[in-house]
Amino acid sequence: MPHDHDHHDDPHALLPPEPALRVKALETLLTQKGLIDPAALDEIIDTYENKIGPRNGARVVARAWCDPDFRAALLENATAVVSDLGFYGRQGEHMVAVENTDAVHNMVVCTLCSCYPWPLLGIPPGWYKSDAYRARAVREPRKVLADFGVVLPENTAVRVWDSTAEMRYLVIPMRPAGTEGMGEDALMELVSRDSMIGTGLAVQP
Amino acid sequence: MSRLHDMGGRFGDGPVQPEPENVRFHADWHPRALALTLAAGSLGQWNLDASRHARERLAPTDYATFSYYEKWLGGLVTLLLETGVVTEAELAGTVDPAPSPLAGRKLQAQQVAEVLAKGGPVDRPSDVAPIFALGDVVVARKFAENARVSGGHTRLPAYAAGARGRILRLHGSHILPDSNAHDLGEAAEPLYAVAFPASELWAHPEHPDDEVVLDMWQSYLGVAQ
């Protein structure tokens, strides 16, 4: 979005106001100074567009649904368990898994910025980074859930986790009823990204 | 006083707009801004806490009107200048860019997977012993401000300042952002998950059983009287 600039003493005002041109100018400058390899940028983009995304988290949740020992280990030490699956990395160095039950529904936000478990869920969706979510999730989580079409039973408490440190939270949604015979791969399909943030429920097959 | 980024609990924002899982970016330049920020960060001239603080320090009018990745770019330019990695004249294009002495640290394409997989853990040994145990009732610091640096970085949101909660988890000892963002040392200390009843935070909580859990460093907390 173009921006009317009235802070000409701010350093970013030295660059073009149009953000697409600003990125280009900065990349060109840093490349000319020998500080940036444009091919490395391509590689980073490919990683988060194509390689690391919410299917990683869905694998973890589906396995927790199928394997009680895995579930217990995940709840005890999530970082070690997801590392074993190859899901350790930037913005997922310190993981905690929290489990939804009939009594408690967990939901994750970062009110101060946009902290999110990248190795398990990829980069955050637009709404997670939005002012509306950051402002409202802690004060009126049930109204926010309603924006996602989720209505909780009256006797279910909501526990909102505000990611104020480097701990990253993965919600384990409740396993849908009637899925007892399903295997891990089929169950993965029921685990939406939003269900692992706590703004959704697992899909009822 | 708070800064605009500290928006938890604020009134007046509209509905949250869900979006499909396959949407990664919303404009062609977004992934470029993300990648540029990560690659520049790997030069090692600033830490994660300093980069958050650089975004938070944007002028309020910019913070309010910039899109997400514009904030990242604004913060990145601030850091590049403050660390001397680039000069104002280079940014303004009034001189030819000089080769950087940091060029040897340039992130190469073949290093990307390894660097992203390695991450940057922030748990550290600490001389500061935990003084709270699970279930202890604590009260958050009165001011959601950096205790050492006026206007400095902190991770204590204004909505929880002065509120009473209980210790839910001990996460171990982590780098203190309030210190690390200002190059005052890592100053690791115990970090806790603290559960606050919604009724402790809001005049009109939605439900009597709801809670908000925040991760808080020991120095953010006092013993509840």
B216 and B170 inside one domain:
yes
Spell out the per-residue pLDDT of chain B, length 225, in tens.
Answer: 579 999 999 999 999 999 999 999 999 999 999 999 999 999 999 999 999 999 999 999 999 999 999 999 999 999 999 999 999 999 999 999 999 999 999 999 999 999 999 999 999 999 999 999 999 999 999 999 999 999 999 999 999 999 999 999 999 999 999 999 999 999 999 999 999 999 999 999 999 999 999 999 999 999 987
The range of the structural domain enclosing residue B66 comes to: 29-118
The answer on pLDDT for A83 being more than 70 is yes
Q: Find out whether B176 and A124 touch, Cβ atoms under 8 Å.
A: no
CA B209 to chain CA centroid, Å, is 29
Q: Which of the 8 DSSP states describes residue A74?
A: H
Q: Which two tokens stand for residue A57?
A: 């988290």
B5: in domain:
no
Whether A66 is a known active-site residue: answer: no
Task: Return the pLDDT at A1.
Answer: 38
Domain stops at, among B118, B145, B162:
B118
Per DSSP, the three-state class of B111 is: helix
B155 and B113 inside one domain:
no
Mean pLDDT of A30-49: 97
B92: in domain:
yes
Per DSSP, the three-state class of A106 is: strand
Parallel, antiparallel or unpaired: strands B164-174 and A167-172: unpaired
ipTM computed for the complex: 0.97
Whether A130 is a known active-site residue: answer: no
Q: Where do the structural domains in chain A lie, given as residue ranges?
A: 18-49, 52-197
Determine the residue among A30, A77, A129 to mutate to test chain B binding: the one whose Cβ has the most chain B Cβ atoms within 10 Å: A30
Query: Percentage of chain A surpassing pLDDT 70?
Result: 96
Task: Return the pLDDT at A40.
Answer: 98
B175: in domain:
yes
The answer on pLDDT for A197 being more than 70 is yes
E strand segments, A19-175: 94-99, 104-109, 157-162, 167-172
All residues of chain B having their beta carbon less than 8 Å from the beta carbon of residue A36 are 36, 39-40, 106-107
The answer on pLDDT for A4 being more than 80 is no
Mean pLDDT of A74-92: 97
Nearest Cβ partner for A10 among B19, B62, B191: B62
The answer on pLDDT for A160 being more than 50 is yes
Q: A114 — contact with chain B (CB < 8 Å)?
A: yes
- CATH number of residue B110's parent domain: 1.10.472.20
B110: in domain:
yes
- CATH number of residue B161's parent domain: 2.30.30.50
What is B114-169 written as a DSSP string? Answer: HHHHH----B---SSPP---TT-EEEE-SS-S-SSSTT------GGGTT-EEEEEE
Q: Find out whether B114 and B165 touch, Cβ atoms under 8 Å.
A: no
Mean pLDDT of A131-155: 98
Q: Which two tokens stand for residue A195?
A: 């269900």
Q: How far apart are CA B51 and CA B181, in angstroms?
A: 8
Domain stops at, among B83, B118, B153:
B118
B107 and B152 inside one domain:
no
Task: Return the pLDDT at A3.
Answer: 43
Q: A84 — contact with chain B (CB < 8 Å)?
A: no
Given the residues A83, A114, A163, A195, select the one marked as catalytic. A114
What is A141-154 written as a DSSP string? Answer: HHHHHHHTT----T
- Residue A1 burial (10 A CB sphere; 0-12, 13-18, 19+): exposed
CATH fold of A52-197 reads Nitrile Hydratase; Chain A (3.90.330)
Chain mean pLDDT for chain A: 95
B172 and B91 inside one domain:
no
Instruction: Identify the closest residue of chain B to A191 by CA–CA distance.
Output: B21
Q: How many domains does chain B have?
A: 2
Q: A2 — contact with chain B (CB < 8 Å)?
A: no
Largest CA distance in chain B: 63
Task: Return the pLDDT at A2.
Answer: 41
The answer on pLDDT for A15 being more than 90 is no
B106 and B160 inside one domain:
no
**Alpha-carbon distance A174 to nearest alpha carbon in chain B (angstroms):** 18
Task: Return the pLDDT at A5.
Answer: 43
Q: Find out whether B21 and A145 touch, Cβ atoms under 8 Å.
A: no
B14: in domain:
no
- Computed on alpha carbons and rounded to an integer, the radius of gyration of chain B in Å comes to 20
With a CB cutoff of 8 Å and minimum separation 6, the contacts of A82 are A60, A74, A88, A92, A95, A119, A120, A170
B68: in domain:
yes
Buried b (16+ CB within 10 A) or exposed e, A155-191: ebbbbbbbbbbbbbbbbbbebbeebeebeeeebbebb
With a CB cutoff of 8 Å and minimum separation 6, the contacts of B222 are B138, B139, B140, B141
Mean pLDDT of A8-22: 83
Whether A113 is a known active-site residue: answer: yes
Per DSSP, the three-state class of B38 is: helix
B161: in domain:
yes
Task: Return the pLDDT at A9.
Answer: 65
